[in-house]
Amino acid sequence: MTPEGKVKAAVNRLLDKYKKHYRYMPVPGGFGATTLDYLLCINGYFLAIETKAPGKKPTDRQKTVIAQIERAGGAVFIIDGAEGLQSLHRFLELATHAPGPDFS
Protein backbone atom coordinates (compact mmCIF):
# COMPACT_ATOMS: atom_id res chain seq x y z
CA MET A 1 0.00 0.00 0.00
CA THR A 2 1.27 3.48 -0.84
CA PRO A 3 1.92 6.02 1.93
CA GLU A 4 -1.16 8.00 0.82
CA GLY A 5 -3.14 4.75 0.68
CA LYS A 6 -2.30 4.15 4.34
CA VAL A 7 -3.61 7.61 5.23
CA LYS A 8 -6.84 6.94 3.26
CA ALA A 9 -7.27 3.62 5.07
CA ALA A 10 -6.96 5.42 8.43
CA VAL A 11 -9.49 8.06 7.32
CA ASN A 12 -11.90 5.32 6.20
CA ARG A 13 -11.59 3.53 9.55
CA LEU A 14 -12.41 6.76 11.36
CA LEU A 15 -15.35 7.61 9.09
CA ASP A 16 -16.75 4.08 9.42
CA LYS A 17 -17.39 4.83 13.10
CA TYR A 18 -19.95 7.45 12.04
CA LYS A 19 -22.83 5.56 10.45
CA LYS A 20 -25.02 8.55 9.55
CA HIS A 21 -23.04 10.40 6.95
CA TYR A 22 -22.80 10.74 3.19
CA ARG A 23 -19.36 9.96 1.77
CA TYR A 24 -18.23 10.27 -1.82
CA MET A 25 -14.74 9.46 -3.01
CA PRO A 26 -14.45 10.66 -6.61
CA VAL A 27 -12.36 8.60 -9.01
CA PRO A 28 -10.31 10.98 -11.16
CA GLY A 29 -10.71 10.22 -14.84
CA GLY A 30 -9.24 13.30 -16.47
CA PHE A 31 -12.65 14.68 -17.45
CA GLY A 32 -14.67 17.42 -15.79
CA ALA A 33 -13.87 19.50 -12.76
CA THR A 34 -11.30 18.46 -10.19
CA THR A 35 -12.13 17.99 -6.52
CA LEU A 36 -10.63 16.56 -3.34
CA ASP A 37 -10.35 12.93 -2.19
CA TYR A 38 -13.50 12.90 -0.03
CA LEU A 39 -16.72 14.90 -0.09
CA LEU A 40 -18.89 14.38 3.00
CA CYS A 41 -22.04 15.59 4.66
CA ILE A 42 -22.65 14.78 8.32
CA ASN A 43 -25.60 16.16 10.29
CA GLY A 44 -26.04 18.92 7.70
CA TYR A 45 -22.39 19.99 7.70
CA PHE A 46 -20.33 19.77 4.49
CA LEU A 47 -16.67 18.88 4.60
CA ALA A 48 -13.99 17.77 2.20
CA ILE A 49 -10.83 15.85 2.89
CA GLU A 50 -7.58 15.74 0.93
CA THR A 51 -5.26 12.93 1.95
CA LYS A 52 -1.54 13.17 1.41
CA ALA A 53 1.49 11.02 2.00
CA PRO A 54 3.21 12.22 5.18
CA GLY A 55 4.92 15.57 4.57
CA LYS A 56 3.31 16.18 1.15
CA LYS A 57 1.32 19.34 0.43
CA PRO A 58 -1.70 20.08 -1.79
CA THR A 59 -1.08 20.95 -5.43
CA ASP A 60 -2.01 24.37 -6.81
CA ARG A 61 -5.21 22.89 -8.33
CA GLN A 62 -6.13 21.38 -4.97
CA LYS A 63 -5.46 24.70 -3.25
CA THR A 64 -7.94 26.33 -5.66
CA VAL A 65 -10.62 23.76 -4.80
CA ILE A 66 -9.89 24.14 -1.08
CA ALA A 67 -10.38 27.91 -1.35
CA GLN A 68 -13.68 27.44 -3.24
CA ILE A 69 -15.05 25.05 -0.62
CA GLU A 70 -14.01 27.30 2.26
CA ARG A 71 -15.55 30.37 0.57
CA ALA A 72 -18.82 28.43 0.32
CA GLY A 73 -18.73 27.71 4.06
CA GLY A 74 -17.50 24.11 3.94
CA ALA A 75 -14.80 22.68 6.16
CA VAL A 76 -11.62 21.25 4.62
CA PHE A 77 -9.15 18.85 6.19
CA ILE A 78 -5.75 18.07 4.72
CA ILE A 79 -4.64 14.86 6.36
CA ASP A 80 -1.15 13.39 6.16
CA GLY A 81 -0.97 11.69 9.55
CA ALA A 82 -2.15 11.42 13.15
CA GLU A 83 -2.53 15.17 13.83
CA GLY A 84 -4.91 15.64 10.90
CA LEU A 85 -6.88 12.55 11.91
CA GLN A 86 -7.29 13.96 15.43
CA SER A 87 -8.59 17.26 14.04
CA LEU A 88 -11.05 15.41 11.80
CA HIS A 89 -12.20 13.27 14.74
CA ARG A 90 -12.85 16.39 16.86
CA PHE A 91 -14.86 17.96 14.02
CA LEU A 92 -16.93 14.81 13.49
CA GLU A 93 -17.70 14.57 17.21
CA LEU A 94 -18.81 18.21 17.33
CA ALA A 95 -20.85 17.91 14.14
CA THR A 96 -22.67 14.77 15.24
CA HIS A 97 -23.60 16.23 18.64
CA ALA A 98 -24.44 19.75 17.51
CA PRO A 99 -27.90 20.73 16.39
CA GLY A 100 -27.90 20.50 12.62
CA PRO A 101 -28.43 23.58 10.47
CA ASP A 102 -32.00 24.88 10.29
CA PHE A 103 -33.11 24.92 6.65
CA SER A 104 -36.67 26.05 7.34
* Domain boundaries, position 61: 1-68
pLDDT at 31 over 80: no
Provide the pLDDT confidence category of residue 100 given band limits of 50, 70 and 90. confident
Query: What confidence tens digit (pLDDT) does each residue in 58-70 have?
Result: 999 999 999 999 9
Q: 79 and 54 in contact (C-beta within 8 Å)?
A: no
Q: What are the strands, taking DSSP E only, across the chain? A: 22-24, 38-42, 45-51, 75-79
In a domain, residue 90? The reply is no
Q: How many distinct structural domains can be found in the chain?
A: 1
The arithmetic mean of pLDDT across residues 45-63, rounded, is 95
In a domain, residue 76? The reply is no
Radius of gyration of the chain (CA): 14
pLDDT at 102 over 90: no
In a domain, residue 21? The reply is yes
